[in-house]
Amino acid sequence: MKRPGTWLVIGIYVSMWLAVSCNKNDRPDPASVAVVYTDVSYGSDAQQKMDIYLPAGRSQAVTPLLILIHGGAWVSGDKSDFAPYIDSIKKMLPGYAVANINYRLATIFGANLFPAQEDDVNSAIQFLLNHIEAYDISGHFIYLGLSAGGQLALLQAYKYATPEASAVISFFGPTDMTDLYFHSPDTTIIKYLPLLMGGKPSQNPELYYSSSPINYVSAQSCPTLLLQGGQDPLVPPAEAFHLRDTLQQLGVINKMIYYPDDGHGWTGKDLQDSFEQISAFLEKIIRL
C-alpha cells in the first residue's frame, strides 16, 4: 500500500504538468500581436537607428515592409518627422510592417559627407533583410522617401540588387544631382551641394554621377511612383519628369502624380490624395 503522502506528491506533479501544458497552449503566437520597437540600432553610430512597427497577424508569407526615409537636405531631419503620419500609414496599409529609419547627417565641419547617407540606408536595409525571420516579414521591400530621402529611396531601389525592391515611392526627390546643382531655384542648394559632394560637378563628376538615381534605371527597375509639386522652390519639377520619361522609355511600370499648385511638400486634400494614390499603386503592384 502506498503511503498517503505519495498520492499528494503525484497530485502535485500532475497539477504542475497540466498548468504548464495549459500555459503553453494559452500563450498567443508572438506574430498575432502588433509590436513596436523603437531606436533599434543597425550600426555603431548614435544616428544609425530605426523604429519598427509590426502588424498583428504578420508572417513571412504575407507581410510586406514599407521603409520610410526622411528628408532634410542630407544635413537635417529625423525619423520623428514621420511620426504624425504613422497612424495614417497603418490605416492606409494595414497589413504592412513599417521601418522608419535615421541615417548619419552631414555637418558643416565636413563629417558624414555623401555617400554616408546612401551607405547608411543600405546598411539599414541589409539589417532588416537579415532579420526577416525574427520580425516575421516577407521579402517584399518598398521604399518611400521625402526630398533627400526620396533621392536615397530611388538610389537604393535602382542601384542595389539585394534585396530586390518591390516598389519605390518618391516625394519630390532629386533624381540627377548634376542637374540639381545647375537648375535648383534655391541658391542655398547650389552653394551647399559642393560641400556635401566634395566639389562642383566638374571637380567630382564621379560622385555626382553615382549619387544620381536616374543613372541606374534599367528595364528591370522596380515599379515607381513619383509625387511632385509644380511650384517646388528646391527641386525642379523637371527632375521628376525626366525620370518618368526615362522609366517609360525602358518599359518600367511607373506613375507620376503632379500637383501644379504645390511646393516642396503639401497638406490637406492633396496629402490625402497622395495617401490614396500610394495605396492604390501598391495594391496593384504587390502580389502576395
Q: Is pLDDT of 19 > 90?
A: no
Residue 8 in any domain: the answer is no
Show the CA angle centred on residue 44, arms to residues 43 and 50, nearest 5°: 45
Domain that holds residue 186: 31-285
Report residue 150 as a C-alpha cell. 526620396
Residue 2 in any domain: the answer is no
Residue 23 in any domain: the answer is no
pLDDT digits (tens, 9 = 90+) for 37-65: 999 999 999 999 999 999 999 999 999 99
Residue 161 in any domain: the answer is yes
Region 96-101: what's the mean pLDDT? 98
Q: Is pLDDT of 12 > 90?
A: no
User: How many folded domains does the chain comprise?
Assistant: 1
Residue 234 to residues 147, 183, 197, Cα–Cα distance (Å): 9, 9, 17
Q: Is pLDDT of 81 > 70?
A: yes
Q: How confident is the model at residue 30 (pLDDT cuts 50, 70, 90)?
A: low
**DSSP-derived secondary structure letter, 223:** P
**DSSP-derived secondary structure letter, 265:** B
Residue 3 in any domain: the answer is no
- pLDDT score of 287: 66
On average, the pLDDT of the chain sits at 91
- pLDDT score of 3: 45
Region 112-120: what's the mean pLDDT? 98
- pLDDT score of 266: 97
Q: How confident is the model at residue 11 (pLDDT cuts 50, 70, 90)?
A: very low
Domain containing 92 — which CATH number?
3.40.50.1820
Report residue 67 as a C-alpha cell. 521603409
Question: DSSP 3-state assignment of 102?
Answer: coil
Residue 226 in any domain: the answer is yes
The rounded percent of the chain whose pLDDT value lies above 70 is: 89
pLDDT digits (tens, 9 = 90+) for 228-284: 999 999 999 999 999 999 999 999 999 999 999 999 999 999 999 999 999 999 999
Residue 7 in any domain: the answer is no
Give pTM, 2 decimals: 0.89
**DSSP-derived secondary structure letter, 79:** G
Residue 261 in any domain: the answer is yes
Q: Is pLDDT of 13 > 80?
A: no
Beta strands at 49-54 and 35-41: parallel, antiparallel or unpaired: antiparallel
Distance CA 136, CA 154 (A): 25
pLDDT digits (tens, 9 = 90+) for 146-195: 999 999 999 999 999 999 999 999 999 999 999 999 999 999 888 899 99
